[in-house]
Structure 1
């Protein structure tokens, strides 16, 4: 009797089922140090306990994307082990801080299925939530992923495509209890730009670039316990390349955005996102952002800013996103729409 798990294929999913993911993960300062080693992350709220305390928090929480990677990684063996590609995100909300010492677990509900016209794969839509040791939801989001079929003769399931909100309403954004930016130290944060200094439609070239190495990607993939075959098994693709985990690109672009958005301290909403084109070792990631919206919050001195974060490969600095055909340009790797908190 086989003891190993080959992972799920497209025909193995059913709309409405809930999948509890193994294995819970306790986070520590080690994860923070490794996160900051992998990415040039230096937003002050996640770097300094003293800066966080001056902003009304008990201490510096774990980086928001570190929490995302852990929750995401738990879901991979059940959702995307046999994936062709992770396609997009929607309706993401960070709902509670994650502190060193917290234990995170995750589960996913299948909310949609759609077989592709080639009959060889299909798209699986899931809503994944991460909880801490107290049962509090710290993060939830929807993602959709293209998964291979094992049995090409398996009948296509009824097509169910969920109706997803294009934007998380500003009124539904979570604000950490006690967060107060009225005494915010702009010099220590690294830039003087306030929430009110950014205009809707403004674009920002984040200037710097980082060339992705195979070793760092493999360390990141293992750190987040992401077991998707396309990320660690070079024989899984016809071109013999290991696909860089899309979350690695997200974190790299977010870290690069510090130059121009150093005061966009906390990511609290994920409106949408697409991994437009693959990233491989040797590619150089650069990033630019567009200001999409701004909103007031009830927290003292705190505003919400909606940003489009775009990661590109090479040296493209023209803010171009899509061609005349409406498709992403080949150098665009990531198009991410998110809300962040910023001092007013």
Structure 2
């Protein structure tokens, strides 16, 4: 009897199916240092225990996206090992702060299925939830992924596409326990701009670019224990429609988040991801640029505001040369991400 697993194919999923994912994972200070080395992350709350303590936290928390990637990686062997493409995200909520030394597990529930017209693939919708060592939810998100069929003759399941919210309601955003921005040092943080300095409709060109190195994107994907074949197996990918290894989409998300520091340095917490699409694949050697638009503002408290942002990441095309989405440059778009960030307000 074979003891190795080839992963789930589309016909293996059932509506309502619940999956417990292996393997528990402790995130250490070494992991956070490696994450910073891979992306050049500079947000001060995640960079310095002393700064984090100055805003009411016990110490520097794990970066929100590092936690997201680790939980995502847990789900890959069961959900997307045989994926053709990871298509999008919705209703992602950062529920509870996490710190180095915490351990995490993940579970998923299949909430939608739709076979594609070609009969070779189908779309699987799952809600995945991450838990800490105390059994407390730390984050929850929906994603949908195109998965290959093992047996093209397998009957199609009944189609069910879940209704998903356009955005996470700002009043439902969770604030880190103890957070108090009243003593936030904007000079040390690296930017004078607070929540009240941003306007709905404003667009911020983050200017800088960062080239994806083959070794770095593979190290990053291994860091998250993401086993998807498309990111590692060069021989297999030469026979695919891409012709080479493709970059894990979350790597592009973290690159864009890091680049956004130039213009959004005080947006230290990702509170939720409302929706996101990996529009085109990236590969080693591509240079990533991005810009952000302010979609919405919400006053959480006297010292905390939430900005809803739309960040567009492109490959090999600086954003100053890319005035809008659509048109002849559409193939240069890698990521279209809609999310909430928390930012200090000027207290009076």
TM-score tier (shorter): over 0.9
Helix, strand or coil: the match of 1:191?
coil
Distance 1:30 1:322 in 2: 41
Report whether the alignment pairs 1:252 with 2:255.
Answer: yes
Q: How many residues align?
A: 340
CA deviations over 1:9-68 (Å, ceiling 9, x no partner): 000000101100000001110010000000010000100111111101111100000000
Correspondence list, 1:1-344, <5 A: 1-237=1-237, 238=240, 239-298=242-301, 300-317=302-319, 318-323=322-327, 329-344=330-345
Secondary structure of the 2:100 match is: coil
Distance in 2, matches of 1:268 and 1:8, equals 31
Q: Distance in 2 between matches of 1:116 and 1:337?
A: 26
**Root-mean-square deviation (Å):** 1.1
Deviations 1:156-205 (A, max 9, x none): 10000000001000111001121111111001110000101111011111
Q: Give the Cα–Cα distance (whole angstroms) in 2 for the partners of residues 110 and 180 of structure 1.
A: 38
Q: Is the 8 A contact 1:288 1:319 kept in 2?
A: no
Deviations 1:73-129 (A, max 9, x none): 000000000000100000000011111110000010000000011000000000000
Tell which deviates more after alignment, 202-211 or 315-324: 315-324
Q: CA deviation at 1:256?
A: 0.2
Unmatched segments (≥5 aa) in structure 1: none
Q: What is the DSSP-based 3-state SS (H/G/I as helix, E as strand, rest coil) of the residue aligned with 1:122?
A: strand
Q: Which runs of 5+ in 2 are unaligned?
A: none
Check conservation: 1:71, 1:130, Cα contact below 8 A: yes
**Shift >3 Å, 4+ stretches:** none
Shift of 1:320: 1.7
Q: Would the aligned equivalents of 1:122 and 1:147 in 2 still touch at CA under 8 Å?
A: yes
Could you say what secondary structure the match of 1:207 adopts?
Answer: coil
Task: Determine the C-alpha separation between the residues in 2 that align with 1:82 and 1:70.
Answer: 19
* CA offset digits 1:301-336 (Å, max 9, x no partner): 111110011110112323422239xxx810000000
TM-score, normalised to structure 1's length? 0.97
The answer to whether the 8 Å contact 2:209/2:318 transfers is no
Structure 1 contact 16–109 (Cα < 8 Å) conserved: yes
User: Per-residue deviation at 1:147?
Assistant: 0.3
Please state which structure has a larger fraction of its residues in helix.
Answer: 2
Whether the aligned pair in 2 keeps the contact of 1:61 and 1:98 (CA below 8 Å) is yes
SS at match of 1:219: helix
CA distance in 1, matches of 2:257, 2:325: 17
DSSP-derived class of the 2:206 partner: strand
1:322 and 1:46 map into 2 onto residues whose CA distance is: 35
Report the TM-score, using the length of structure 2 for normalisation.
0.96
CA offset digits 1:267-303 (Å, max 9, x no partner): 01110000000000110000100000000113x4111
- Residue 68 of structure 1 aligns to a residue whose secondary structure is helix
